[in-house]
Amino acid sequence: MDQDTNLLNEMRGVSAVMLLGGITLLIGILMSEIRTISHTAGCLVFLGFAFGSMFSIAVDGKPNKQIVSGLIFELVLGAANAFCLASALA
């Protein structure tokens, strides 16, 4: 039971980071003043998860199809945010 509690705690912590990152991204759509912060948060959240997943694949092996699909979406959304951030800073 203790292991389940620890896992749930970690999952909820990561979920909260994802939720707040998503809220920041949505606010950035509406308020141009924080668009750079919004794209930076998007890069950190999406690319952070993607790099973590790729490291895990290299160390632990290939996960199931749903995890790989999630990795692809994280890479695409992270790259899109990086492109928008680079455009905003140029």
Residue 2 has pLDDT above 70, yes or no: no
The 10s digit of each residue's pLDDT in 41-73 is 999 999 999 999 999 999 999 999 999 999 999
The three-state DSSP-derived secondary structure of the chain is: CHHHHHHHHHHHHHHHHHHHHHHHHHHHHHCHHHHHHHHHHHHHHHHHHHHHHHHHHHHHCCCCHHHHHHHHHHHHHHHHHHHHHHHHHC
| Domain membership of residue 33 as a residue range | 2-89
At 7 the pLDDT is 81
What is the number of domains present in the chain? 1
